[in-house]
A and B are shown apart, each in its own frame.
Chain A
Amino acid sequence: MTPLTLTATDARPGPAKPKRTAWVPTLVLVLGSLYCLIPVVWVVIAASKGRSELFSTFTFAPGTGFAANFKELSSYRDGIYWQWMANSLLYAGGGALLSAAVSAGGGYALGRFAFKGREFIFKLMLAGVLVPSIVLTVPQYLLLSKLGLADSYWSMLLPSILSPYGVYLVRIYAAAAVPGELLEAARMDGASEWRIFSRIAVPMMMPGLITVFLFQFVGIWNNFLLPYVMLADDTKFPITLGLYTLLTQGASQPALYTLVIMGCFLAILPLIALFLVIQRFWSLDLLSGSVKA
């Protein structure tokens, strides 16, 4: 088996030296970047505006109320905003960690073993991707209510763990990155299957597992429907639902707008930071699940 690299099937040896600037593509890309950055830039600037400034000054002129907005949001209902942030971190971090673990086991089994029912199980799980989220969420809520688990941390965590896409990705990864000979040799030496999995397979699958973790993290952090259906107690809300309820209250009193804007700004910071850090050493190409063997 050839050594495995995870920088996708890049057929280009290196960046070709540009001879002259191609103006049309450059212009198109700059316009595209502007379109994508404008709302983010706007929210950063708007977050710095006090209540009166928000409606009176030019929208891209920075204001003077940044610290005041920050303070006001932090003290809003005894700091419930940071409670939402912590909840999001718990749901996304915990759920993604468990998801990576479950995908590791499932993907490894599907990718490195031949057994009865393998294809059936795999295809059944993949079909799960096609089921509209609300078809699952509403009965999940009704069933969890019967168990007394609705409106609890569990009602957010448990349904977010299994990711068919994660199992699929680890299956591909395990089949390509974990050499069968190595597993066979370990078996000859009398290692137990659990030991082989935890000591040999998991470390080799780590880049794939990190991808699953990140995907699931973003997926759970961004999820709106699940908390909207499951949760009623606003101290358990994740940041998405929290900001939404803040806006629905604020619709009648525009005074809350500044808080919502500040909240939006602070809520996108962690994910943007995560992406900027990741993209330095983690190829974006991984997002399409490519593996080069």
Chain B
Amino acid sequence: MTATPLKGSDRTTAGPLADGTATSVRPRRRGRSAPYWFLVPALFLFAAFTVVPIGYAVWLSLHKVQVKGIGLGKGAREQVWNGLGNYTDVLHDSEFGHSVLRAFGYGLIVIPTMLGLALVFALMLDTPQARSAKFARLAIFLPYAVPGIIAALMWGFLYLPTVSPFYYLLREFNLPQPDLFDGGNLYLSFANIAVWGGTGFNMIVIYTALRAIPLEIYEAAKIDGASDLKIALRIKIPIVMPSLVLTFFFSVIATLQVFTEPMALKPLTNGLSGSWSPLMAIYDAAFFRSDIYGASATAVVLALATFALSFTLLRVSDRYTREDRA
């Protein structure tokens, strides 16, 4: 079974350039500059708040501060060219390296769990005989409306033995009470918050793609004697593959930028380093150690890594989705 007979029905998947731009208007000579005028605000903001900051970060990353004399008085500190010096420091900075590894470890838990749950929920929602589907769709999507930091604060309280209902139950039944802020459990604690907040949105994206499949396909498959499970595995999942790839793509990017959850739980525990995730490490360098040069170099490295990862993923996903983008 392939997706070929359904070509064009997958337009619900928001992929880059999946729109009908072929229907552009022939511009008349008058008003030829009009599109540029309409674009001016967007372009100005893009230049001022994306291009210039990136350029500035790159410039900073190539400089350092040199202290003259004993470093007192005006002009005692001056910016000097440092070439790739900051970058070699970044690559030798085990602190940052560890934060990247931690982010990957965290992503290895979050992404499969979150997307797996989102896919399962979407498939269940798409089962006509399932009760409570409408309620579940809303309930599971609800966490999307909760700001990440507040979700993390709420879960933070639920992790505290003194106020948590889970610990209450564990105590009642005399079960061992794990420390959720300890070592490896910390990853699970963060991951749970991200899964809680992100599953609903991904579920809706996948569910939307499922709704685009005409019912006749299933009827045909049922006549051929396929079970519900088989239909899900052999028809539904292959058809929603582009959506899965897209959600995976965005999840990976979000994982590298994990910041809110560890920041929110930091006040509740002592066991959390100020540079737990890459973003925290950069923030730490820029504002606590006042090393904006090193911080900029680290940020540029993170951006380049994100780009490299994105293009690799897009190239791989192209193989799955090319025919659907037509």
A121 close to B267 (CB less than 8 A): no
- B69-77, B78-86, B122-130, B177-185 - the one binding chain A: B122-130
Query: Chain A binding site: helix, strand, loop or mixed by DSSP?
Result: helix
Contact of B130 among A29, A102, A257 (CB under 8 A): A29
**Interface members, chain B 195-227 (any A CB < 8 Å):** 196, 199-201, 204-205, 208-209, 211-215
Q: How far is the CB of B129 from chain A (nearest CB, A)?
A: 4
Q: In the assembled complex, which residues on chain A have CB atoms less than 8 Å from the CB atom of B253?
A: 130, 132
Q: In the assembled complex, which residues on chain B have CB atoms less than 8 Å from the CB atom of A257?
A: 157, 163
- A19 contacts partner chain B, Cβ-Cβ < 8 Å: yes
- B164 contacts partner chain A, Cβ-Cβ < 8 Å: yes
Docked pose: A203 CA to B145 CA in angstroms: 27
Query: Chain B binding site: helix, strand, loop or mixed by DSSP?
Result: helix
Q: How far is the CB of B57 from chain A (nearest CB, A)?
A: 4
* CB-nearest residue of chain B to A26: B131
- B37-45, B90-98, B104-112, B317-325 - the one binding chain A: B37-45
B: contact size bracket:
35 or more
Docked pose: A103 CA to B38 CA in angstroms: 10
Q: In the assembled complex, which residues on chain B have CB atoms less than 8 Å from the CB atom of A133?
A: 257, 279
B57 close to A135 (CB less than 8 A): yes
- A58 contacts partner chain B, Cβ-Cβ < 8 Å: yes
Q: In the assembled complex, which residues on chain A have CB atoms less than 8 Å from the CB atom of B120?
A: 28
- A293 contacts partner chain B, Cβ-Cβ < 8 Å: yes
**Interface members, chain A 53-105 (any B CB < 8 Å):** 54-55, 58-60, 101-103, 105
In the complex, 9 of the A-B residue pairs with CB atoms within 8 angstroms, ordered by the A residue number, are A8-B212, A19-B129, A29-B136, A132-B302, A139-B56, A143-B56, A193-B34, A251-B268, A275-B142
Contact surface of A with B, Cβ cutoff 8 Å:
8-12, 15-16, 18-22, 24-26, 28-30, 32-33, 35-40, 42-43, 46, 54-55, 58-60, 101-103, 105-106, 108-115, 118, 121, 124-126, 128, 130-136, 138-140, 142-143, 158-159, 161-162, 167-168, 171-172, 175-176, 180, 183-184, 187, 192-193, 197, 218, 221-222, 224-225, 228-229, 239-241, 243-244, 247-248, 250-251, 257, 260-261, 264, 267-268, 271-272, 274-276, 279, 284-285, 287-293
